[in-house]
Structure formats: C-alpha cells, structure tokens
A and B are shown apart, each in its own frame.
Chain A
Amino acid sequence: EAGVAQSPRYKIIEKRQSVAFWCNPISGHATLYWYQQILGQGPKLLIQFQNNGVVDDSQLPKDRFSAERLKGVDSTLKIQPAKLEDSAVYLCASSFLAGGSGANVLTFGAGSRLTVL
C-alpha cells in the first residue's frame, strides 16, 4: 500500500512570500488532515477534511492560510503571506474514516519542512 505522499519535502522562503504544499492521501482514505508541528511541540491541527468537505478548521489562521481538497482526494495547503512564525513542519495525514473507535488511526506523510527567513 502506498503511503501518504507530500511535496515539497523542504522549502525556504522569505517572509511575505507565498508557499504551497501538496498531499496525496492513501487511496480510499476519506479523511485528510493538515497539521503544523513546531520544533519541540506536538502536532497542531490546521484543518480536517471529510471527503471534500471541511470538518474542522477552527485553528487555521484564515487570514493567511488556505486549504482545499476539491475532488476529495489530494489536497493543497497554501500560506500567503508567510511570517517568520510559520517556520515548521507541515504534516499531512489520512485515515479511513472519521468517527468510530477504529477510525482515528492516522497515517502521516513525511512532512514538508518550511523555513521562513
């Protein structure tokens, strides 16, 4: 089974520039998550999709971050304009279903490491 694919693996930009990250979840996984992980901290949920609908985006800084999953498969996370504090690893994860005791086993991609200078 192919895993969760993410690109790019690394990105260095200057503040106020824009950046986009792409994620392709495991085939058949209805739920897709974008997390931000700052060094030394646990993952922080940015947005959760169920198919192509948004389940939770309460912690997404909507003035600068946006995400879409138009066809319910792959997803893009965009930051525009970037700030220094956005330097982090952006992790995409997917799960088969949301809801139900076995549903929240997440498989993560390798992450996209962003450095904002």
Chain B
Amino acid sequence: RKEVEQDPGPFNVPEGATVAFNCTYSNSASQSFFWYRQDCRKEPKLLMSVYSSGNEDGRFTAQLNRASQYISLLIRDSKLSDSATYLCVVAWGNNRKLIWGLGTSLAVNP
C-alpha cells in the first residue's frame, strides 16, 4: 500500500458543482496534513492545512478522519479557476518527513 494515495482523476465537473477529493494515508503516526494546489506548469502552492476539527476557507472545506486514515477536500460552487491538480501532503516523524500524493486533477467546465 502506498504511503499516501489519491485518485488521480481527472474529475470533470460543471461550474457551480460541488466536488470532493479524498486522500488516504498508511502511517497512523502521521501528524500534520495539507492540501496544495498546482496549476499546469506551475509550482505547488499551499491551499490549506487540515486540522483535526476540520476547517473551512471560503468555498473550500478540509476534514481529517484519523480512525479511517484519510483527509478530504470539498469544493463548493466550483469556478473555472479551480481547475488544477490538488496534492495531498502528510507529515510525520515530528513533522520532519513529508509524503506527497500523486495529485488529483480537476477540470471545471463552463
């Protein structure tokens, strides 16, 4: 089993749709969790950290389920500009070791 797994997609959704991605991780000692966004031919940028209680930033909601060892990202009211690859990152080893998923590709269509 891979340390961090994501469905590569692509997810094709119409504008205004709600879409959700999951990311599973294998190390139960994982400590911190993040979602990064990567636009085509650009560098990854932090989208949001994922807190134990769940957190929301505008149209984006991130949740952590430690029992089932996955994190999720929910995007509401999708915009064309949300089209990107969403990378899941898990940290362990006193947050010194980062494991990256392969990314989930999202295409929001007009």
Partners in one complex: yes
Using a CB–CB cutoff of 8 Å, the interface residues on chain A facing chain B are: 40-45, 55-56, 91, 98-101, 103-111
Given contacts A99-B94, A99-B95, A103-B95, contact A108 B45 (CB under 8 A): yes
Q: Name 18 interchain pairs, CB-CB below 8 A, sorted by A.
A: A40-B102, A42-B101, A43-B87, A45-B98, A45-B100, A56-B96, A91-B43, A91-B44, A100-B95, A103-B95, A104-B32, A104-B91, A104-B98, A105-B46, A107-B46, A108-B44, A109-B43, A111-B43
Nearest A residue to B36 via CB reads A106
Bound together, the chains give a CA A109 to CA B44 distance in angstroms of: 9
Identify whether the interface residues of A are mostly helix, strand, loop, or mixed: loop
* Residues in chain B near residue A100, CB distance under 8 A: 94-95
Nearest B residue to A56 via CB reads B97
Residue of B36, B87, B98, B103 with most chain A CB atoms under a 10 A cut-off: B98
* Residues in chain A near residue B43, CB distance under 8 A: 91, 108-111
